Amino acid sequence: MCQHRPPCPAATAADHTAARVVASHPEQGWYLLCNGVVIFDDTGELGPDGLATEPHRARPLSMAA
């Protein structure tokens, strides 16, 4: 899917969110990456295979144990 050189990380790679944005809809809170991953402002993700990843925000330091 990616035509960049060097190619962007695959959707299954650990650094998949480093891929370039190909469609941006900040007013709706989502961005399509060239590897087919949709990322959301709440840190959730939707993979090209339809698999959803729940938001994974870090806890504030005040809540750390």
Structure confidence by residue, pLDDT tens digits, 36-53: 999 999 999 999 999 999
Query: By C-alpha distance, which of 27, 51, 21 is closest to 41?
Result: 27
Question: What integer is the mean pLDDT of 7-15?
Answer: 93
Looking at residue 18, what is its pLDDT? 93
Residue 47 in domain: yes
Looking at residue 51, what is its pLDDT? 92
CA–CA separation, 56 and 3 (whole Å): 29
Residue 64 in domain: no
**Structural domain range at position 41:** 1-9+17-54
Looking at residue 4, what is its pLDDT? 83
Looking at residue 63, what is its pLDDT? 56
- Is 65 a residue whose pLDDT tops 80? no
Question: What integer is the mean pLDDT of 16-26?
Answer: 94
CA angle 40, 59, 46 (to 5 degrees): 20
Domain count, the chain: 1
Residue 46 in domain: yes
